[in-house]
Structure 1
Amino acid sequence: MDIEAGVNKVDSGVEDLPKNKCLRIFVTSFHSAVCCYYVLLVSYGLVIGYNAMTHDNEVVRLLGHYGPAFGTNWNLTFQTVFIFLALTYDILEWMNKQDTERAKKIMYWRDVLYNGLVVPFTLFVTSLFWTVYAIDRELVYPEVFDSVVPWWFNHCVHTNIAIVVLIETLLTPRRQPTNKSLELKLTTFTSFGYAAIYYSIYYFTGRWLYNVFGIMTWWQVSLFQCLIWASAYFFYFTHFMVNRLFHGSEDKTAVNKSVTVENNGSTKTVKFGSLQKNTPEESFTSDNWHLKYRSLRDKFENSRL
């Protein structure tokens, strides 16, 4: 038996849609519904932004002018891109094209984006927003915003986003990072880049993007900023632990996995100890297995026990 046939059965580290057809239908329906939901949400958000910029209240006008700088909108963008990738992969899977190069790359970036950006920043936005809101809403979401932002839209962008992540966690096992190095780079770049945005706004305009910074001394701002950065990493690592609680701790990655190979009526177990797919090139190059294990395969084919 060709060893490559056995290798193809090794999981790539992130399980795809369940084989159960009914559950696959549910997953695709969920992604389709969320995709439509986000299209409508983003469209209505643009209308809110326009109305805010033409409002007679200066504070509300700032909401419109600085709209792209708010973390809520960054996170909504991450989720929208992710859900489009997820739905695209679902469609390719229903067309039995999940083994094509394009489908594998879509799956790869879907999971990297989800792990590195969607999960940490969705949970960060939801937890921090509602915590500060409960203390004093004027520090994060002034009451005057209610004149242009409906209450239900506020929940759509600060509450429902976490529900989407929870359902996605229940539906798709992601016990381990797809590419830990790249995901952490995305988390780090976005965390520091976002901080640079609102500090730059304060430096050039003298206004804080969030009023909560305005009541703090600089050493308190520094501590609060460290808490913000730490929370993103906390949610990133915690996500995998929570996922394993839902889906079990079995390691589905190719690292330290094995394949049973039949040869002349006998069987041998081949262990693969260094096959973690860290880059698209490594993951999607069809010759990797053949070149790396050609001598091992020949040894098994020519041997007798």
Structure 2
Amino acid sequence: MSCPQFHFAVVGYYIATLVYVSGMDLSNVTDEKVKNLRDFGPFYLTLWNWGLHLLYFFMHCINHTLQKMPMKISTSLRRMMGQMTNYLFCALVFPLTIYVSSTFWIMFAYDRELLYPRALDAASPPWFNHVMHTSILPVALLELALHRHRFPPPRTACLSLAALLAAYGLAMTYVYFRYNVALYPLYPMLNWTQRGLFFAVSVAECSVFYLLGEKLNTLCWGNRIKSVHGEKQQ
């Protein structure tokens, strides 16, 4: 499968999922955790990660379309979008995807009620959970294998990850204090020191996943890839 075919297929897959989700009827649910998922869905990290996926692949589809346009019109725009999508995937999409998927399934195995309550099974088909938390991982790995990437300096990428997770932490805190809703049952059990520690550990984990992506990229593409700061990756 070529990169354009893969990118268009993923966008179609995500849009079909989005259409399905928008048609889900959760108006009559009584479980408090399911109500939170219904009313505060955009504040969950899974949705942030999924949105980054959709943005990344949609931008690639635009770039593929621009290839059919006259060279003078599309060259500079394609170059700019190429740099943006490259950074988006390497610094955010890939490490966050591994973090979201691995953390979800570890917590699911420990106590699924912390993240994905059983009451939600009655309102959604079994495959929906895998669309949001499982398929994102092979999609990211396939993208890494099919499309060459230039990984930015680790410090820059890790700062971007920290900024994203900090923004998410602020959003989660806002929901908790503004609406008295804990998106995750664990949140109110932690004091501020523990929350800060949890944030630091999350950033560290995502940074490790970034380095893993860089190593896998080198494994797939070898010395044909150069980093964005001009040094050849070994």
TM range (shorter): 0.7 to 0.9
Aligned twin of 2:204:
230
**Aligned match of 1:104 in 55, 79, 86?**
79
Residues 251 and 81 of structure 1: is their aligned pair in 2 closer, same or farther, counting only changes over 3 Å?
closer
Contact 1:53–1:60 (Cα < 8 Å) also in 2: no
Report the Cα distance in structure 2 between the residues aligned to 1:159 and 1:70, rounded to whole angstroms. 16
Structure ID, larger Rg: 1
1:90-115 alpha-carbon deviations (Å, 9 max, x no partner): 23346684971111111111111112
Structure 2 unpaired stretches of 5+: none
Letter of the structure 1 residue corresponding to residue 137 of structure 2:
A
Q: CA deviation at 1:73?
A: 0.8
The equivalences for 1:138-177 within 5 A come to 138-177=113-152
Report the 3-state secondary structure (helix = DSSP H, G, I; strand = E; otherwise coil) of the residue aligned with 1:248: helix
User: Which amino acid in the other structure matches residue 93 of structure 2?
Assistant: V
Q: 1:53 to 1:117 in 2, by over 3 A?
A: farther
Shift of 1:57: 3.2
Distance 2:118 2:71 in 1: 50
**C-alpha RMSD over aligned residues:** 2.6
- Shift of residue 219 of structure 1? 4.8
Match of 2:8 in 1: 32
State the alpha-carbon separation in 2 of the partners of residues 112 and 91 from structure 1: 20
Residue 255 of structure 1, aligned match among 226, 230, 234: 230
Instruction: Please give the secondary structure, in 1, of the residue aligned with 2:197.
Output: helix
Q: Distance in 2 between matches of 1:183 and 1:252?
A: 16
Q: CA distance change for structure 1 residues 180 and 108 in 2, over 3 Å: closer, same or farther? A: farther
Greater helix percent: which structure? 2
Give the Å deviation of 1:189: 2.0
Q: Which residue of 2 aligns with 1:196?
A: 170
- What is the aligned partner in structure 2 of residue 44 from structure 1? 20
Query: 1:38-187 counterparts in 2 under 5 A?
Result: 38-48=14-24, 51-93=25-67, 97=71, 100-177=75-152, 183-187=157-161
Tell me if the contact between 1:60 and 1:144 (Cα under 8 Å) persists in the aligned partners: yes
TM normalised by structure 2 equals 0.86
Q: 1:208-262 CA deviation, whole Å, 9 max, x = no partner? A: 21123345565544433322122222222321112112221455357268xxxxx
Partner-residue secondary structure (3-state), 1:136 = helix
Instruction: Give me the whole-angstrom Cα distance separating, in 1, the residues matched to 2:33 and 2:151.
Output: 44
SS at match of 1:100: helix
Is the 8 Å Cα contact of residues 86 and 150 (structure 2) preserved in structure 1? no
**Structure 1: gaps (5+ residues):** 1-22, 258-305
The CA distance in 2 between the partners of 1:96 and 1:182, in whole Å, is 34
More displaced, 53-62 or 131-140?
53-62
Does the C-alpha gap of structure 1 residues 61 and 176 become closer, same or farther in structure 2, counting only changes over 3 Å?
A: closer
Structure in which a larger fraction of residues adopt strand: 1
State which drifts further: 191-200 or 206-215: 206-215
Deviation, 1:37, is 0.5
- Post-superposition Cα deviations, 1:96-135, rounded to whole Å, max 9, x if no partner, equal 8497111111111111111222112111110110010011
